[in-house]
Homo-oligomer: A and B are copies of this chain.
Amino acid sequence: MLSGPVAVWKRINSVPMPSRRAPSNKNSIRILPLGGLGEIGKNMLVLETEDDMVVIDAGVLFPEVDMPGIEVVIPNFDYIVERKDKFRGLLITHGHEDHIGAVPHLLKRIQVPVYAPPMAVEIMRLKLREHKLLDQTDMTSVKPGSSLRLGKLEVEWFPVCHSIPDACGIAIKTPLGVVIHSGDFKFDQDPIIGYPTDYGRLAAICGKGVFLLLSDSTYAEEEGFSGSDRTVAESLFRLVQEAEGRVFIVSFASQIARVQIAADAARAAGRKLALMGRSMQNNVKIARELKHLDLPEGLVISAGEAASLPDRKVAYMTTGSQGEPSSALVRMSRNEHPELDIREGDTVILSSNIIPGNETAVFESIDDLVRLGAKVITNRHQHTHVSGHARREEMRILFNIARPQYFVPVHGEYRMLRAHADLAADSGVHPENVFLIENGDQLELSANSGKIVDKLPAGHIFVHGYGVWDESGNVVVERKALARDGIVTIALARDDKTGRVVGKPRIISTGFVHTEDAPRLFKDTLEDLETKLEDARRKAIKWEELEELVRNTVARFLSKRTRRKPLIYTVSIEI
């Protein structure tokens, strides 16, 4: 069963990486992922013909534990910016952060028209206003199901089911055939918001043959169907009904369908619903204006109003499902919320899964909530969540509808991409036409064959405050070293005429030793150092030599005394 795809990986792995080449020729298109392949997040994909270039999505990656201090991680835009003359538009599939979060960062570097479904447009509007970019941005709201001509390309947004309203896949008619990008999708036959997939329309788009399918791989390791939101509704209705005191339903701010379920469940149990957190309130406001939410007058109340009602008459919807420190839930769990305290009798329902990497934070907040007396219900023991991403059986349905000539798995970590690629080959895509590529691999596809023609820089770009930098900036590497061992700085003074060391060197440290141990340790360190400075006090020594002497002497002494290797810096003042 593996022989087909395995042969493909072998072939791919052995493709030589030539140096940059001339632009693509008339009879091919190029695909270049700048994010979302080999990672979950910061989705961004370039599609290029001889005349036109479009970009699908511009998302952020939330920083991982090994990226201390970083606010967000965005794609590398250099390739796009260099080709702005043929850049026809940024095409957005839906309004989740990992698909739109980098839009302001891109628009700061290059002005380009943005096309997106209405819900995504409204969420981006808030974002662009914050970044003071709204006025200068050319943004078009595209109704799901409608098409646009961009250069020589015809682009259609087709509706798909996902966990946010107005989610779309994108179909692009190119000179070589139709390219289908699934967006984030699932086949929910009973969605709470929006409609089931329009199989007829999808089949019609695919009807004349699909040249290339790009499709969401997040759950490619999981068999079966992801399940319908309806099943979560059934379960939440029961749990809210059974709760004896207040109920807190925890989800993402962008999980609009979950808000509808929570509201319906609250109403059925005779409760009012209060929304906690600014992002939750903003998104609900947008969804109500766009008629995606059906909330009867008087059902949604403020936290202040909720406080005056009996416990059994209130439900809260809040963010914090990933243990985010600034979320309403985590602040409540730490007794730091200005309005609400968790107490005996409360029921907290995590209507979410844990995104890998967030376990420690999530379990810590659960422990804190339990300590305060709450009963906490998660998707480990009750059916409180279904994913918005297709599983393998749904992926097979899409392969069978699309029957693409070429297939490229997108959106997922490497093992998921590979599982999806295997599945494509098993589902009838010719193994030679399945391309397991990663960010920066530029894939050229012609009528008869495809190959990787270039490997472009597509690493992480880190954003912290006004700072935007790639790995070469060393900042993240330095931070990790600082955190591991702390830092010791030795300050010296030198006579600017004679170049000789004058005065007494000083040492300061951070994150290195116990505050009580430091004075003694550094007194000894300086005494040891002084014996090595005799020469430098008598005659001029080059700064580089002096610095090396000081650093080595101190490093050796501290390593002997503490068995550790802090970062050691020196600084000299010329007097």
Q: Which of B68, B469, B481, B487 contacts A484 (CB 8 A)?
A: B68
Query: Provided the pairs A483-B482, A515-B474, A517-B467 are in contact, do residues A415 and B573 lie with their beta carbons within 8 angstroms?
Result: no
Residues of chain B lying within 8 A (CB to CB) of residue A506: 491, 571-573
Residues of chain B lying within 8 A (CB to CB) of residue A474: 514-515
A-B contact pairs, 22 of them (CB 8 A): A6-B344, A68-B484, A356-B360, A465-B562, A473-B514, A473-B515, A473-B517, A474-B515, A475-B512, A476-B511, A478-B510, A479-B483, A479-B484, A480-B483, A482-B482, A482-B510, A482-B511, A483-B483, A487-B510, A489-B508, A493-B573, A510-B567
A542 in contact (CB, < 8 A): no
Shortest distance between the CB of A313 and any CB in chain B (Å): 21
Whose C-beta in chain B lies nearest to the C-beta of A570?
B508
A167 in contact (CB, < 8 A): no
Top 9 closest pairs, chain A to chain B, by CB: A68-B483, A465-B563, A473-B514, A483-B483, A479-B511, A465-B564, A478-B511, A482-B482, A69-B484
**Roughly how many angstroms separate A366 CA and B412 CA in the complex, as a whole number?**
13
Query: Which of A334-342, A371-379, A383-391 is found at the contact surface with chain B?
Result: A371-379
The contact string, 1 if C-beta is below 8 Å from chain B, for chain A 496-531, is 100000111110101111111100000000000000
**Roughly how many angstroms separate A572 CA and B515 CA in the complex, as a whole number?**
19
A21 in contact (CB, < 8 A): no
Q: Which of B467, B489, B515 contacts A571 (CB 8 A)?
A: B489
Shortest distance between the CB of A59 and any CB in chain B (Å): 19
The contact string, 1 if C-beta is below 8 Å from chain B, for chain A 533-575, is 0000000000000000000000000000111100101011111
Shortest distance between the CB of A46 and any CB in chain B (Å): 23
Interface pair A475/B511, CB less than 8 Å apart = yes
Whose C-beta in chain B lies nearest to the C-beta of A486?
B479
- Find the residue from A65, A66, A478, A482 having the highest chain B CB count within 10 A: A482
**Roughly how many angstroms separate A481 CA and B68 CA in the complex, as a whole number?**
9
Interface pair B475/A486, CB less than 8 Å apart = yes
Residues of chain B lying within 8 A (CB to CB) of residue A486: 69, 475, 478-479, 482
Residues of chain B lying within 8 A (CB to CB) of residue A561: 466
**Roughly how many angstroms separate A367 CA and B418 CA in the complex, as a whole number?**
9
Interface pair A514/B373, CB less than 8 Å apart = no
Query: Provided the pairs A69-B484, A482-B483, A506-B572 are in contact, do residues A467 and B64 lie with their beta carbons within 8 angstroms?
Result: no
**Roughly how many angstroms separate A54 CA and B226 CA in the complex, as a whole number?**
53
**Roughly how many angstroms separate A569 CA and B505 CA in the complex, as a whole number?**
16
Q: Taking beta carbons and an 8 Å cutoff, which residues of A are in contact with B?
A: 2, 6, 9-10, 13, 38, 64-66, 68-69, 221, 344, 356-357, 359-360, 363, 366-368, 370-371, 373, 375-376, 380-381, 413-415, 418, 464-467, 469, 473-476, 478-487, 489, 491-493, 496, 502-506, 508, 510-517, 561-564, 567, 569, 571-575
Query: Provided the pairs A356-B359, A418-B370, A493-B503 are in contact, do residues A563 and B466 lie with their beta carbons within 8 angstroms?
Result: yes
Query: Provided the pairs A6-B344, A475-B514, A510-B567 are in contact, do residues A503 and B573 lie with their beta carbons within 8 angstroms?
Result: yes
Interface pair A510/B569, CB less than 8 Å apart = yes
Interface pair A370/B415, CB less than 8 Å apart = yes
Shortest distance between the CB of A441 and any CB in chain B (Å): 13
Given contacts A489-B569, A510-B567, 6 further A-B contacts (CB under 8 A): A68-B483, A367-B415, A473-B516, A478-B486, A493-B575, A505-B573
Residues of chain B lying within 8 A (CB to CB) of residue A368: 414
Q: Which of B373, B480, B503, B515 contacts A575 (CB 8 A)?
A: B503
Residues of chain B lying within 8 A (CB to CB) of residue A573: 491-493, 503-506, 573
Interface pair B503/A574, CB less than 8 Å apart = yes
**Roughly how many angstroms separate A373 CA and B506 CA in the complex, as a whole number?**
54
**Roughly how many angstroms separate A6 CA and B370 CA in the complex, as a whole number?**
11
Residues of chain B lying within 8 A (CB to CB) of residue A381: 221
**Roughly how many angstroms separate A390 CA and B574 CA in the complex, as a whole number?**
68
Query: Provided the pairs A367-B38, A493-B573 are in contact, do residues A564 and B359 lie with their beta carbons within 8 angstroms?
Result: no
Residues of chain B lying within 8 A (CB to CB) of residue A476: 511
- Find the residue from A6, A415, A418, A485 having the highest chain B CB count within 10 A: A415
Residues of chain B lying within 8 A (CB to CB) of residue A482: 479, 482-483, 486-487, 510-511
Residues of chain B lying within 8 A (CB to CB) of residue A505: 573
**Roughly how many angstroms separate A491 CA and B494 CA in the complex, as a whole number?**
13
Shortest distance between the CB of A100 and any CB in chain B (Å): 22
Query: Provided the pairs A64-B360, A414-B370, A567-B510 are in contact, do residues A69 and B478 lie with their beta carbons within 8 angstroms?
Result: no
Interface pair A466/B370, CB less than 8 Å apart = no
Whose C-beta in chain B lies nearest to the C-beta of A360?
B357
**Roughly how many angstroms separate A376 CA and B419 CA in the complex, as a whole number?**
11
Interface pair B370/A514, CB less than 8 Å apart = no
**Roughly how many angstroms separate A466 CA and B569 CA in the complex, as a whole number?**
22
- Find the residue from A10, A360, A375, A381 having the highest chain B CB count within 10 A: A360
